[in-house]
């Protein structure tokens, strides 16, 4: 045990050391050094950069082999500790869903978070990075190689893959066809959690009727049927109802609903107190009023930050907050106005404070819904600032919950076409440019700079025509004098599209808490719903709770089992050594 604590201590000491030694901002670098003349060969540009940044990074510690060895030893110790599996029942489950948060988004948001703190960035550990169990998630829809957010949400919330664009219905439903959805509804983990006596909540920065949250409570052949005015004639004929209506009138009794999208709940005659805009409902129904009428007693509706902060979780059992007519603001567009809408971290905190009063536990879905929108607009600043804010919300949950009884899962529904490339220096500003002067052309054909972050397709496709005498040339836009760190800057792309598209590669699942170790390997996306339900003994998964499990084990102390694992490792090493010796003699 002493060894465990000593190594753990060394690990934290090392972390503290990293934190203090990275105090100097990388921006202090001497930019003149970029002009040193070299050919375009990679090894030479790397040598040039090493010279350019020798005063900041790498640090002296990073040049010391012991620094890396000690870090690795601490990581091995942590991995050994994780051999003691947490097989407790998950009383609480929180699913964090970064919409469009592909792996390149996670990596670059990590660097951004570090650089915002004045560090080089690459060495930063996100709150989500610290979740010890990971798996890859295959995100395709049954009819789409590259998926959308509705079919994927149906997978990770309801446990079945479906067509692109459908909400909470199985693969027998055809997109946009109401009659084909009848009898093919898929129940989400929220339904099962409510049935088991748990409280449930939804937090999103998008409209609460948008694809991801909708799949938690609604059944719809089309994600776009958010208000009754969106329904097609076929949908109305076959008695399909809109998603906002379902949330108030047909869905389970969800305790906390926080996000945007008030116009889906309000009649045409309504005037938004914030913007003066109208509602989207043709049926004249005020669904917010209906929600309030249904929830007698300890319920509250809020639409601004001041009222939200005023909500006392102890005396509130039901909370509906709709902070915008449509989606909530991008983090990058927020102001310091004290009446501003809450952050995703604020909403997560309030939701947990309300939900955790239930002795049976809770399920909470937290969606960083606008990461996706920032990417679609090819505005990497907006996408990544929202990812950092999303990670702050993960930190809130980590701080408030105990891994002995709470399963925390972080994942994405799909990726985007964001690439993170070039050969930028360590600590290079993440929104910066790979700059080469004409004397150092490096390996760009057109001798023009390019940003480290680029999109495969999207609105940032920027070609310019230049005429020199009779000679007309089409080149990429020269961004030398463009502020590529501006929140409105659109990173360049290869194919011109009004809206950048999703990416089809696998996304990561990160988890901690009871049964988090079931997240391993490469899995189909619907597996996520099943593991969460298994861990919490929901739906068909009661076997985990049928076993006598006794009182929940405390988690976090290596204990005798971890010591046992040292002996196992030693024994395995000796045995393989003997086997190898035997094999060589044969």
CA distance 82 to 442: 46
Phi, psi of 291 (to 5 degrees): -60, -45
CB 414 within 8 A of CB 502: yes
Contacts of 123 (CB under 8 A, 6+ apart): 18, 22, 114
CA distance 74 to 12: 9
Binding residues: 99, 210, 212, 367, 372, 376, 413-414, 502
When CB distances to Zn ion are compared, the closest residue is 372
Q: Any contact of residue 413 with Zn ion (CB under 5 A)? A: no
Find where tokens 């002493």 sit: 2
Binding-site size, Zn ion (CB under 5 A): 1
Q: From the CB of 524, what's the least distance to Zn ion, in Å? A: 20
Measured from the CB atom, is 131 or 371 closer to Zn ion? Answer: 371
Q: CA 393 → CA 95, 205, 399, 512, distances in Å?
A: 11, 12, 10, 15
Find where tokens 């465990």 sit: 4
Catalytic annotation, pick one of 33, 75, 130, 149 = 149
Measured from the CB atom, is 341 or 372 closer to Zn ion? Answer: 372
Q: From the CB of 190, what's the least distance to Zn ion, in Å? A: 22
Q: From the CB of 389, what's the least distance to Zn ion, in Å? A: 18
Q: From the CB of 377, what's the least distance to Zn ion, in Å? A: 11
DSSP 8-state symbol, 273: T
Binders of Zn ion among residues 257 to 296 (CB under 5 A) are none
Measured from the CB atom, is 48 or 502 closer to Zn ion? Answer: 502
H or E segment and range at residue 429: none
Measured from the CB atom, is 49 or 327 closer to Zn ion? Answer: 327
Q: How many CB atoms lie within 10 A of CB 32?
A: 8
Q: Is 471 helix (H, G, I), strand (E, B) or coil?
A: strand
Both structure tokens of 347: 């909403």
The verdict on whether 149 is a catalytic residue reads yes
CB 214 within 8 A of CB 165: no
CA distance 289 to 85: 47
Binding residues for Mg(2+): 99, 210, 212, 367
Measured from the CB atom, is 91 or 373 closer to Zn ion? Answer: 373
Q: From the CB of 203, what's the least distance to Zn ion, in Å? A: 19
Q: How many CB atoms lie within 10 A of CB 30?
A: 12
Binding residues for Zn(2+): 99, 372, 376, 413-414, 502
Fill in the per-residue mask, 349 to 388: x = in contact with Zn ion (CB under 5 A), - = not in contact.
Answer: -----------------------x----------------
Q: From the CB of 254, what's the least distance to Zn ion, in Å? A: 24
Measured from the CB atom, is 317 or 372 closer to Zn ion? Answer: 372
Q: What is the DSSP string of 97-147?
A: EETT--HHHHHHHHHHHHHHTTS-STT---TGGG--EEEEEE--BTTBSS-
C-alpha closest to that of 367 among 205, 505, 215: 205
* Residues in contact with Zn ion by the rule CB under 5 A: 372
Q: What residues act catalytically?
A: 149
């Amino acid at each position: 045990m002493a060894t465990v604590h000593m190594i753990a201590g060394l690990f934290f000491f090392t972390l503290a050391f990293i934190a203090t030694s990275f105090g100097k901002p990388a921006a202090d670098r001497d930019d003149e050094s970029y002009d040193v003349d070299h050919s375009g060969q990679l090894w030479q540009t790397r040598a040039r950069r090493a010279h350019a940044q020798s005063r900041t990074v790498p640090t002296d510690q990073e040049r010391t082999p012991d620094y890396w060895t000690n870090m690795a030893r601490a990581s091995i110790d942590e991995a050994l500790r994780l051999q003691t599996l947490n097989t407790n029942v998950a009383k609480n489950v929180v699913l964090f869903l970064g919409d469009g948060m592909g792996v390149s988004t996670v990596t670059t948001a990590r660097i951004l978070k570090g650089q915002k703190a004045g560090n080089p960035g690459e060495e930063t550990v996100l709150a989500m990075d610290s979740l010890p169990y990971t798996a890859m998630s295959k995100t395709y829809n049954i009819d789409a190689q590259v998926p959308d957010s509705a079919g994927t949400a149906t997978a990770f919330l309801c446990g079945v893959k479906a067509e692109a664009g459908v909400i909470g219905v199985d693969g027998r439903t055809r997109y946009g066809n109401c009659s084909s959805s009848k009898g093919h509804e898929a129940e989400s983990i929220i339904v099962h959690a409510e049935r088991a006596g748990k409280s449930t909540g939804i937090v999103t920065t998008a409209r609460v009727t948008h694809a991801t949250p909708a799949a938690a409570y609604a059944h719809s052949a089309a994600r776009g049927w958010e208000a009754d005015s969106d329904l097609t004639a076929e949908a109305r004929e076959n008695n399909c109802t809109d998603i906002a209506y379902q949330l108030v009138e047909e869905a389970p009794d969800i305790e906390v609903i926080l996000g945007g999208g008030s116009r889906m709940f309000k009649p045409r005659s309504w005037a938004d107190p914030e913007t003066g805009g109208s509602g989207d409902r043709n049926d004249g129904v005020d669904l917010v009023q209906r929600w309030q009428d249904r929830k007698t007693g300890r319920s509250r509706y809020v639409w601004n930050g001041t009222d939200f902060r005023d909500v006392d979780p102890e005396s509130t059992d039901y909370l509906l907050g709709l902070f915008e007519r449509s989606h909530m603001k991008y983090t990058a567009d927020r102001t310091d106005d004290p009446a501003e809408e809450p952050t995703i971290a604020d909403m997560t905190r309030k939701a947990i404070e309300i939900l955790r009063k239930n002795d049976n536990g809770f399920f909470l879905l937290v969606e960083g819904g606008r990461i996706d929108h920032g990417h679609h607009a090819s505005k990497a600043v907006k996408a990544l600032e929202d990812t950092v804010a999303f990670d702050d919300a993960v930190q809130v949950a980590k701080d408030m919950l105990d891994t002995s009884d709470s399963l925390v899962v972080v994942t994405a529904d799909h990726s985007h076409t964001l690439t993170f490339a070039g050969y930028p220096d360590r600590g290079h500003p993440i929104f910066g440019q790979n700059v080469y002067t004409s004397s150092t052309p490096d390996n760009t054909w057109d001798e023009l700079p390019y940003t480290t972050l680029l999109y495969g397709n999207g609105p940032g496709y920027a070609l310019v025509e230049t005429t020199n005498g009779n000679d007309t040339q089409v080149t990429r836009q020269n961004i030398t004098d463009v502020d590529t760190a501006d929140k409105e800057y659109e990173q360049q792309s290869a194919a011109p599209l009004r809206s950048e598209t999703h990416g089809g590669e696998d996304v990561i699942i990160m988890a901690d808490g009871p049964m988090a170790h079931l997240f391993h390997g490469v899995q189909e996306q619907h597996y996520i719903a099943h593991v969460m339900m298994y861990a919490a003994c929901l739906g068909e998964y009661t076997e985990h709770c049928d076993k006598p499990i006794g009182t929940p084990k405390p988690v976090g102390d290596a204990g005798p089992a971890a010591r046992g694992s040292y002996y196992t490792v030693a024994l395995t090493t000796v045995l393989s050594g003997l086997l190898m010796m035997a094999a060589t003699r044969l």
